[in-house]
Amino acid sequence: MVGCGGRPPPTPWERHAKSLQQRHVEDDAEGPQLLFPMYTVPAAVLLEMVEVKPHEELLSSGVVMEHDEANGHVAFVSHQWVGKGHPDPSFEQFKVLQEVCRDLLSQTSYVHVDAVTCLMRPLQSGFYSQALQSRPLFVWYDYFSVPQSPAAAAKQRQAIDCIPAFIARCRFFFALCPVIESAALSEVLSPFTWVQRGWCRLEKVLHQLTAEDGSWIIIKSRKHLEVMPTVSVSVGSESVGEGAFTDSKDRVQLGPVLKTALRTKLVALMRDGNIVAFRTLLNMQATYLRGLNVKPAADLVPGVTLGTDVLPERLLAESFLLQNGFRELDEVDGAGWSPLAYAALGGDPEVIQALLQKRADPSTRTRAANAYINVPGNASVVSIAAFYSNNAALEVLIAARANLEVGIAPPVVTASGGDNTEGMRILLAAGCNLQAQNAAGHTAFENAALAGSQKVMQALIEAGASSAQLTRSLHWACWLAGGSFEMIRQLLSARADANSSFAVKPFSVMGVLFGGLSLRYRMGSRSFPARLGYHSGGATPLMLAILSGQYEAATALIANGAKMDVENSRHRRAADLAREMQVPDFLMQALEQGNTDACERITASAGVLESHAF
């Protein structure tokens, strides 16, 4: 019984968390175990390489060696292979890595956060190169660090199984994904193709689970690096099982690996008493594990399990509250989230139905932004389910007469951001307005473009779109993160205007944000977001793509005849901005010399070259 002014008794979650704190759990404390040595190459040696040689050759020559943590820090390099059977036959991708490492190790530099983080969290800092220079640096690169010989298949499998342990021991994580044309694979590699690879998704997620802050660095070109936070712009990139795998058997083998990593992180969060992060990750498991044919861990608090196949429906709500550490159905935690909000994130329709039967409000909204995922405050639970493609949960909430218009963004807009075409269909059938806008004034069209939601964009185009909607979508795709070859093809094919000038209303939400970025630039900041804000006024899609480092979009626009001689409101042409941004050489050739051959060849290789008259 609670006395006058006393604290309520601890929940089962709190009691179990305290028991974890009081006892030493060796497996959790030490992290993933190494069953195969962690081989690395000294960064100084990497800078002198002129070709990419396999593990066996480097091991015999003493270049690659078993890493000792006392010797220095390790950087994990995640990348796509450019060739068949060899990661980089032409040494083009690797040379970008060398140039980046040389710059970071030889001079004091600062890598700014990406534009989304800059807008949503303006006080978040980037990365200082001194962190790389403080101790000797070593590099883990799959072709160097994992046996490659067919005769060493068993050892290779061991090494691959140890990748979670390798990543846990790496201080830094680089995503090496410049725009590279691969003749061997008959495709063009880029940040967009990197994030589609199942292995690359797994590596990124494992880093986010094991690193101190989960942030990582994306390498778009020799001079364009961005610090990416734990939260991704695109929710689809978090789903490992829905990524592309060359060998489908990998998808089966990786399920248990990822589930173990998630459970280890959840136990660590519980031991640390970080209940908001725990609740978020516990329910995000469904997204991470989607497509891997394994069930999320649901029995972290001993005594009750969440399995819907063994629990009667009346106990589902109680079990969910217990596992998430809630006392009451109407409780709101430090992140401003209720149990139903977390249930919408997890997406189990039976759990949501059980909470609704206990009188949970289907129109519930979050009271604040959750720092661990890309969901702002004042978001409805319907919008959360729509964003994360939890469509069975979405249907349950709609059937319960949830308000589809409340919150910072209508669910039809958040569904577009999550590339959730089925969710869009469900919401439109329920009476949602396709022209509804979020707080920033964006409809589903602009939001799909911002997030690079190609499936939703195609569905929207097929449903009918005005020229103005398509052109605005092209601007926003090039402004933020949606400028893939395919997105540009979709919009140009639908006759978006590739040469129109970009403009936002000065006193709109986005206008105020742009004003803030522009002010930073005038005060001396030369971060990519500050440049983007300062130069956006009157910019063409080509200019926006250059400023945001979306070289796929810039390449496709040039190849399809976009004008290169117009000026923005600052009287700068695309070539002027490209020189300031130090874009790849093939783009500079097109912008300064008018030689568009490389852009046309690369765009054709990506299957995007159209015939347009601008």
* pLDDT tens digits, 325-350: 999 999 999 999 999 999 999 999 99
* CA-atom Rg of the chain in angstroms: 25
Q: What is the pLDDT of residue 612?
A: 40
Q: What is the pLDDT of residue 235?
A: 46
Q: What is the pLDDT of residue 374?
A: 75
Closest listed residue to residue 313, CA positions, set 389, 387, 401, 396: 396
More confident residue, 123 or 443: 443
pLDDT tier for residue 254 given thresholds of 50, 70 and 90: confident
Instruction: Give the Cα separation of 312 and 73 in Å (integer).
Output: 51
How does the average pLDDT of the chain come out, rounded? 89
By the 8 A CB rule, do 539 and 568 touch?
yes
Instruction: Give the Cα separation of 169 and 188 in Å (integer).
Output: 31
Q: What is the pLDDT of residue 185?
A: 83
Tell me the pLDDT tens digit for each residue of 191-238.
Answer: 999 999 999 999 999 999 888 777 899 999 998 999 987 654 444 567
Identify the sign of the CA torsion 82, 84, 90, 94.
Answer: positive
Instruction: Give the Cα separation of 171 and 30 in Å (integer).
Output: 15
- The 10 Å CB-count burial string (b at 16+, else e) for 216-232 is bbbbbbbebbbbbbbbb
Instruction: Give the Cα separation of 417 and 509 in Å (integer).
Output: 18
Strand 73-79 relative to strand 39-42, pairing: unpaired
Which residue has 């495709």 as its token pair?
A: 187
- With a CB cutoff of 8 Å and minimum separation 6, the contacts of 19 are none
What's the average model confidence in pLDDT over 306-315?
Answer: 57
pLDDT tier for residue 364 given thresholds of 50, 70 and 90: very high
By the 8 A CB rule, do 266 and 298 touch?
no
Tell me the pTM: 0.90
- Using the predicted structure, report yes or no on whether residue 527 has a pLDDT greater than 90: no
Instruction: Give the Cα separation of 403 and 364 in Å (integer).
Output: 9
- With a CB cutoff of 8 Å and minimum separation 6, the contacts of 116 are 233, 480, 481
Q: What is the pLDDT of residue 237?
A: 66
Instruction: Give the Cα separation of 416 and 435 in Å (integer).
Output: 12
What's the average model confidence in pLDDT over 583-604?
Answer: 94
By the 8 A CB rule, do 541 and 552 touch?
no
Strand 172-176 relative to strand 216-219, pairing: parallel
Measure the CA dihedral 455/461/463/464, to 10°: 170
Give the relative orientation of helices 391-399 and 339-346 as an angle to the nearest 10 degrees: 140
Strand 137-140 relative to strand 73-79, pairing: parallel
More confident residue, 388 or 29: 388
Instruction: Give the Cα separation of 378 and 559 in Å (integer).
Output: 42
Q: Which one of 46-50, 254-258, 406-410 scores highest in mean pLDDT?
A: 46-50
Within 347-464, residue ranges assigned H as helices are 349-357, 381-387, 391-399, 411-417, 421-429, 444-451, 454-463
Closest listed residue to residue 213, CA positions, set 336, 345, 124, 97: 124
The residue type of 489 is R
By the 8 A CB rule, do 119 and 127 touch?
no
Neighbour count for residue 60 (Cβ, 10 Å):
9
Q: What is the pLDDT of residue 304?
A: 53
Instruction: Give the Cα separation of 530 and 521 in Å (integer).
Output: 5
Q: What is the pLDDT of residue 79?
A: 96
pLDDT tier for residue 30 given thresholds of 50, 70 and 90: very low
Q: What is the pLDDT of residue 116?
A: 74
What's the average model confidence in pLDDT over 149-156?
Answer: 89
pLDDT tier for residue 5 given thresholds of 50, 70 and 90: low
Q: What is the pLDDT of residue 29?
A: 44
Identify the sign of the CA torsion 286, 288, 290, 294.
Answer: negative
Long-range CB contacts (within 8 A, 24+) of 150-159 = 152/56, 155/36, 158/35, 158/36, 159/36
What's the average model confidence in pLDDT over 524-541?
Answer: 88
Least confident of 88-92, 142-146, 161-165: 161-165
Which residue has 């936002």 as its token pair?
A: 504
Q: What is the pLDDT of residue 63?
A: 94
- Using the predicted structure, report yes or no on whether residue 317 has a pLDDT greater than 70: yes
Enumerate the domain spans of the chain: 39-238
- Using the predicted structure, report yes or no on whether residue 312 has a pLDDT greater than 80: no
Which residue has 């270049």 as its token pair?
A: 63
Structure tokens at 459: 């569905």
Tell me the pLDDT tens digit for each residue of 274-309.
Answer: 999 999 999 999 999 999 989 998 889 986 554 545
